[in-house]
């Protein structure tokens, strides 16, 4: 349920008991951008016919940010839908808020004559006439941006942005970072919190995120003809203080799938090279990107199975060679034999055989994604949210709920073998290659060519299958 509670001379927007934003005269949370004096004509000169917005030339230096005065917001409030009308916008503008279970949708509308505030006439009081004159002097006649400051927790961890964002920071957590995304067409940007809440932003133009200690700043700039920003906010599905990241990630994945069209990529996301640098990703960056994509609701992620990485990509939902040839998760012995023909790389052959023998588990993970929107690859913290040390890791992942994979470290594209440090979640874990049982916590295991650090959950219903893989691997 949406509610507006008194805060200073303004209001606090609350949904299902969660405070979304605080807005007052002294601490505004909602801003609109308009061209600076003399900049309007220059901005108009960039437009051409056909696309409405013409050349993609948004210059934030030509824009002035105007906080929306409390007296200039008129709220039409309902239990399931509310409208914030911005009275100081000449053509009419506002925010439509729609409440769904565990979800708040915010649509910015402009121009919107139907949202224009009621006109004040001389029949009103002197105060009304004075307000009308003041409003006439402060009318905004053209908008080019929206900024909203959402409440945030200093202790939260933020992830996602579709594999972008904190990559340059060389860490997975987006907190205390900022990111700028540009798109001429309608695009999506998703941010996930370790509590299970999330943002899904649809925009065209420039989207700026700033993840500050107490605020998450959402800012979109656009040109005429571009789609105006839409924002969905997923709330903690548990409606409680306890984090629920798995339920939240499922809700985000389901919401992203429901958007359809260009908002949802079809097939697996192939993570291999950096399009900006046109080169293979280093292992640390590759793993961060994999996990960021998973936190963005992407359920299927693929990595090329080359000599260096084939031995751990076997424990994922896809096995694809550099040539583009792939081994299906439903491959039988004949299909496996055909796939191996002509392949003389021992590591790849070994990994392909292990991949094929994991078929029952592959199908289990694939069905969970297709039917319940549970991503196949996730950060371990999603399943074990209370373990703080896990959240700091960006070099290990869970394939489904039962297989933990810690890829080899690399040096100049070559795998590094020997002792590998890792953190196991609080559970019983079986080292795949030795069948030794490990408790949760920090540990070290030996790694060798073809044998990365891979563990399976001791109580897994697939434990017998995994042990069969161990026995078979000694003959490969």
pLDDT tens per residue across span 88-130 = 888 899 999 999 989 999 999 999 888 876 554 444 455 555 5
What is the secondary structure of 204-269 as a DSSP string?
EEEEEEEE-SSEEEEEEE--TTSPPPEEEEE--TT-SSS--HHHHHHHHHHHHHHH-GGGS--S-E
Parse the chain into domains and list their residue ranges.
Answer: 2-263, 303-473
The pLDDT value recorded for residue 397 is 98
- The average confidence (pLDDT) of the chain is 88
138's tokens: 């402060």
Domain pair 2-263 / 303-473, same fold: yes
- Helix, strand, or coil here: 472? helix
Q: Which CATH architecture has domain 303-473?
A: Sandwich (2.60)
Q: Where are the alpha helices (DSSP H) in 20-90?
A: 40-44
User: Which residues are registered as beta bridge partners of 146?
Assistant: 32, 220
Sign of CA dihedral 431, 301, 306, 468: positive
Residues 331 and 267: their CA atoms lie apart, in Å, by 18
Residues 91 and 281: their CA atoms lie apart, in Å, by 48
In this predicted structure, the answer to whether residue 225 has a pLDDT above a threshold of 90 is no
398's tokens: 């869970």
The pLDDT value recorded for residue 121 is 43
Percent of the chain's residues with pLDDT above 70: 86
Record the pTM: 0.90
Q: Highest-confidence range of 46-60, 257-271, 343-357, by mean pLDDT?
A: 343-357
Q: Which CATH class is domain 2-263?
A: mainly beta
The pLDDT value recorded for residue 342 is 80
Packing angle between helix 463-473 and helix 359-372, nearest 10 degrees?
140
């Amino acid at each position: 349920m949406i509610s507006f509670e008194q805060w200073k001379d303004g209001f606090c927007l609350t949904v299902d008991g969660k405070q979304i934003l605080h807005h007052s005269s002294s601490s505004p949370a909602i801003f609109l951008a308009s061209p600076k004096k003399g900049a309007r004509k220059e901005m108009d000169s960039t437009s051409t016919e056909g696309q409405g917005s013409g050349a993609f030339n948004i210059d934030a230096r030509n824009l002035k940010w105007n906080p929306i005065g409390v007296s200039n917001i008129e709220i039409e409030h309902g239990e399931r839908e509310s409208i914030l009308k911005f009275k100081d916008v000449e053509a009419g503008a506002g925010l439509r808020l729609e409440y769904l279970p565990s979800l708040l949708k915010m649509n910015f509308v402009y121009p919107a004559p139907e949202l224009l505030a009621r006109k004040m006439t001389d029949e009103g009081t002197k105060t009304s006439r004075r307000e009308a004159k003041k409003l006439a002097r402060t009318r905004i006649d053209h908008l080019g941006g929206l900024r909203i400051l959402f409440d945030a927790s200093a202790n939260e961890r933020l992830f996602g942005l579709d594999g972008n964002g904190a990559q340059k920071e060389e860490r997975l957590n987006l907190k205390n970072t900022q990111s700028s995304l540009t798109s001429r067409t309608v695009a999506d940007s998703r941010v996930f919190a370790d509590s299970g809440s999330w943002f899904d932003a649809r925009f065209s133009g420039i989207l700026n995120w700033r993840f500050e200690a107490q605020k998450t700043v959402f800012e979109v700039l656009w040109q005429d003809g571009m789609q105006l920003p839409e924002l969905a906010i997923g709330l903690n599905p548990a409606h409680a203080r306890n984090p629920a990241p798995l339920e939240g990630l499922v809700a985000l994945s389901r919401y992203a799938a429901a958007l359809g069209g260009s908002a949802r990529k079809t097939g697996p996301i192939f993570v291999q090279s950096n399009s900006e640098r046109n080169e293979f990703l280093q292992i640390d960056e590759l793993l961060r990107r994999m996990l960021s994509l998973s936190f963005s609701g992407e359920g299927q992620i693929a990595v090329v199975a080359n000599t260096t990485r084939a031995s751990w990509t076997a424990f994922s939902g896809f096995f694809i060679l550099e040539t583009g040839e792939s081994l299906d998760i439903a491959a039988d012995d004949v299909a496996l034999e055909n796939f191996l023909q002509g392949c003389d790389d021992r590591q790849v052959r070994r990994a392909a055989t292990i991949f094929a023998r994991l078929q029952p588990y592959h199908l289990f993970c694939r069905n969970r994604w297709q039917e319940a929107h549970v991503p196949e690859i996730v950060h371990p913290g999603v399943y074990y949210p209370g373990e703080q040390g896990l959240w700091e890791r960006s070099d290990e992942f869970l394939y489904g709920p039962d297989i933990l994979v810690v890829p080899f470290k690399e040096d100049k594209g070559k795998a590094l073998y020997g002792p590998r440090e890792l953190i196991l979640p609080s559970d019983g874990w079986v080292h795949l290659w030795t069948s030794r049982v490990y408790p949760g916590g920090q540990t070290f295991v030996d790694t060798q060519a073809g044998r990365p650090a891979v563990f399976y959950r001791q109580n897994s219903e697939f434990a017998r299958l995994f042990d069969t893989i161990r026995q078979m691997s000694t003959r490969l």
